[in-house]
Structure 1
Amino acid sequence: MPASQPTILATSGGYRYGERIQLEFNALLHHAVELSGTGRSTPRVTHLGTASGDQRYFNDHMQEAARHAGWSLTNLNLFPMPNLDDIEGHLLDQDVVWVNGGSVANLLAVWDVHDLRPVFRRVWEAGVVLAGVSAGSICWFLGGTTDSFGPELRAVTNGLALLPYGNGVHYDSEERRRPLVHRLVADGTLPTTHCTDDGVGLVYHGTELVEAVTEQDGKGAYVVTRDGDTAVEERLEPRRI
């Protein structure tokens, strides 16, 4: 059963080191499944690692983490070719689509080659929860800040635009992120921009931001708006999950 309305969870988190395995799913990824409202005893989650080139070792970590969580997980690979015949049909049958981090510029380029923009819109409208971390967060917005082009952060402005905002990730852990977000909002390169500290996620129903949630204490979310030729930042206190 899909979520009752289009839902996105955009995050700067979702993983933790495991005690017996390399990687476990943290509270944000579990929250994505909760948002789906699935009645399945074994939730269906598809992971896309496009932004890092579909690294097979990370796919294995995701499979192991899913077994630990009691979920059914599919790795949707686009390198060297799609590993599924009917990508849209598969995604429509999922509870959650989770997009991992890496290069958001490369991710968007590869998705465009495979004409996935309209597919993701239809999947979102059908109530499958779209979620992800870092590049897997920015992709759902109009754009954000990225190191896709090199060590110096730059703007990316060709996101899927399901959400009509900019997105800033790793807001507290990478010191160049905040000032660049402020500059890009102030000069109009990015619209109003929603940002997350590491461990924080933003929940959207349709295009409305309804809640900030966190898997770590002391973290924040932020809304940066333009006021004349300056940027104004408002902190949102996330709910601990």
Structure 2
Amino acid sequence: MTTPGRGIALLGGGFSTDEDGLLDDWLLTQVSNPRPRICFIPTASGDAPAYIDRFLDAFRPRACEPTVLRLFQRELDDEALRAHVLDQDVIYVGGGNTANLLAVWRTHGLDRILHEAYDRGTLLSGISAGANCWAEGSHTDSFGPLTFLPDGLGLIEGSVCPHYDSEPGRRAGYQEVVATGALSAGWALEDGVGALFRDGNLVDVVTRVPEACLYRVERVGERGVTEQALPCGVVEVG
């Protein structure tokens, strides 16, 4: 069973980027099951085998039950796919191409199943494209150069920008598209940050890097923008 309230965790790190595993440990503590069922969905990377192996290597030693949902070599029929997703405590979506991820999910009906899982209390989470997908829109390199994608599952109001501090052009580019109205106001994650939403509201922000922040970016006037850093708690080895 998951904790009460519909939850989404945006991750600025985890098994694919960090050696300490702090954000992965934090993620697993956000559900009440002491041995949570966690399903990795690597669609955005084209179900890259090495990415899948890294997930399994990271989570098999933990007190959880990890599985992987592949769509490029799909094995489950519609009924089994829905049953498997709805049986999870945590969904973890990997990084890669946000636009491709959304298109493939819709082709297989996974977008509708994830909405249902969210309403039932499954914690949805992910890094990079796996953070972008839950919002109404995102800042993405899905088409090569950084640009705006006014598309997503809409479970978080507004937009999301990952890698706010680590990729050239992210900060200025995201502020520009919010300032012009191409994307609505939203959340910008620096690497190392985890942000937890319950029923659409931000309830917790943590970081494994003391100087990293989550920012609220909003439009002001015709082409202005504000950027507000939100306080974070530091996750430590526990």
TM-score with structure 1 setting the length = 0.91
Unaligned runs of at least 5 residues, structure 2: none
1:159 — aligned with what? 152
Equivalent position amino acid for 1:51 in 2:
A
Which residue matches 1:44? 37
Q: Distance in 1 between matches of 2:200 and 2:110?
A: 20
Aligned with 2:107 (options 113, 121, 142):
113
Looking at structure 1, the residues matched to 2 and 212 of structure 2 have their Cα atoms a distance apart, in angstroms, of 30
Once residues 208 and 169 of structure 1 are traced to their aligned partners in structure 2, the CA distance between those partners, rounded to angstroms, is: 18
Matched, 1:58 2:51: yes
Residue 97 of structure 1 corresponds to: 91
After TM superposition, give the deviation of residue 83 of structure 1 in Å.
2.6
Kindly provide the CA deviation profile for residues 139-161 of structure 1, in whole angstroms up to 9, marking residues without a partner as x. Answer: 000111111111x1011111000
Match of 1:210 among 196, 203, 208: 203
2:30 aligned residue:
35
Aligned 1:202-241 pairs, distance under 5 A: 202-229=195-222, 230-241=224-235
Amino acid at match of 2:29: E
Q: Give the deviation of 1:25 after TM superposition.
A: 7.0
**CA displacement, residues 30-75 of structure 1 (integer Å, 9 cap, x when unaligned):** 2221111114xx3211001000000122212211211222322111
Give 1:160's aligned amino acid: L
- How far did 1:11 drift? 1.5
Cα deviation, residue 168, structure 1:
0.8
Distance 1:16 1:132, change over 3 A: closer
8 Å CA contact 1:25–1:69 kept in 2: the answer is no
Instruction: Decide which moves more: 156-165 or 86-95.
Output: 86-95
How many pairs are equivalent? Answer: 232
| Aligned counterparts, 1:181-192, within 5 A | 181-192=174-185
Taking the aligned partners of 1:25 and 1:119, their CA distance within structure 2 comes to 32
Pair 4,25 (structure 1): closer, same or farther in 2 beyond 3 Å = farther
In 2, the alpha carbon distance for the partners of 1:128 and 1:28 equals 18
Q: Do 1:9 and 1:132's aligned partners in 2 also have CA atoms closer than 8 Å?
A: yes
Distance in 2 (alpha carbons) for counterparts of 1:194 and 1:138: 10
Equivalent residue for 2:13?
13
Q: 2:75 aligns with which of 72, 75, 83?
A: 83
Moved more, 131-140 or 208-217: 208-217
Give the Cα separation in 1 of the matches to 2:123 and 2:71. 20
Structure 1 consecutive aligned stretches of length 4 or more whose deviation exceeds 6 Å: none
Q: Aligned partners of 1:70 and 1:34: how far apart in 2?
A: 11
Q: 1:7 is aligned with what amino acid?
A: G
Distance 1:16 1:112, change over 3 A: closer
CA contact (8 A) 1:200 1:212 kept: yes
1:190 shift after superposition:
1.1
CA RMSD, Structure 1 to Structure 2 (Å): 1.5
Task: Tell whether 2:222 aligns with 1:195.
Answer: no
Q: Compute the TM-score of the two structures, normalised by the length of structure 2.
A: 0.93
Cα 1:16–1:161, aligned 2, differ >3 Å: closer, same or farther?
A: closer
